[in-house]
């Protein structure tokens, strides 16, 4: 008897509607997150990690030009690593602030305005990214 009651619950339109609503809300949240910067953040982090050889090149130049000892080279390597992590943390915070601001603006706008706003943001994208790149 209990099995029949459990099967009947899955055929209930209210339960199916709730499950569909939860699924659609999750899909929308995921799509919005990717649209608002998570996708770029993931790819930027991979690109940032690939710039590791630049760190080594800078370290070797410092070592050669400044005639650093092994201990000094190790200490400067730690400073460069700390700076890279600190910079990445700041960049992540800036990206979060940008995404939060955009989300808040989108919540205020009607659907027609949202479309126009998204186009404006796409057109301004290179300028906005260029502004943060100058800080590097």
pLDDT recorded at residue 40? 65
pLDDT at 67 exceeding the cut of 50? yes
pLDDT at 9 exceeding the cut of 80? no
Residue pLDDT, tens place only, 72-90: 999 999 999 998 899 899 9
102 CB-near residues (< 8 Å, 6+ apart): 36, 121
Residue pLDDT, tens place only, 85-119: 998 999 899 888 988 998 999 999 999 999 999 89
Residue pLDDT, tens place only, 14-46: 888 888 888 888 888 887 777 777 666 665 554
Q: How far apart are CA 77 and CA 59, in angstroms?
A: 7
Tokens of 8: 């009947």
Among residues 25, 21, 37, 83, the alpha carbon closest in space to that of 58 is found at 83
């Amino acid at each position: 008897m209990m099995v029949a009651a459990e099967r009947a619950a899955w055929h209930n339109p209210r339960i199916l509607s709730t499950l569909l609503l939860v699924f659609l809300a999750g899909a929308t949240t995921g799509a919005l997150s990717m649209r608002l910067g998570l996708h770029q953040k993931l790819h930027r982090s991979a690109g940032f990690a690939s710039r590791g050889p630049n760190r080594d090149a800078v370290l070797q130049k410092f070592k050669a030009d400044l005639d650093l000892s092994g201990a000094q080279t190790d200490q400067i390597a730690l400073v460069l690593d700390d700076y890279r992590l600190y910079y990445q943390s700041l960049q992540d915070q800036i990206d979060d602030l940008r995404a939060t601001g955009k989300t808040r603006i989108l919540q205020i706008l009607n659907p027609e305005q949202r479309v126009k706003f998204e186009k404006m943001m796409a057109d301004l994208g290179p300028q906005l990214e260029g502004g943060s790149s100058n800080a590097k």
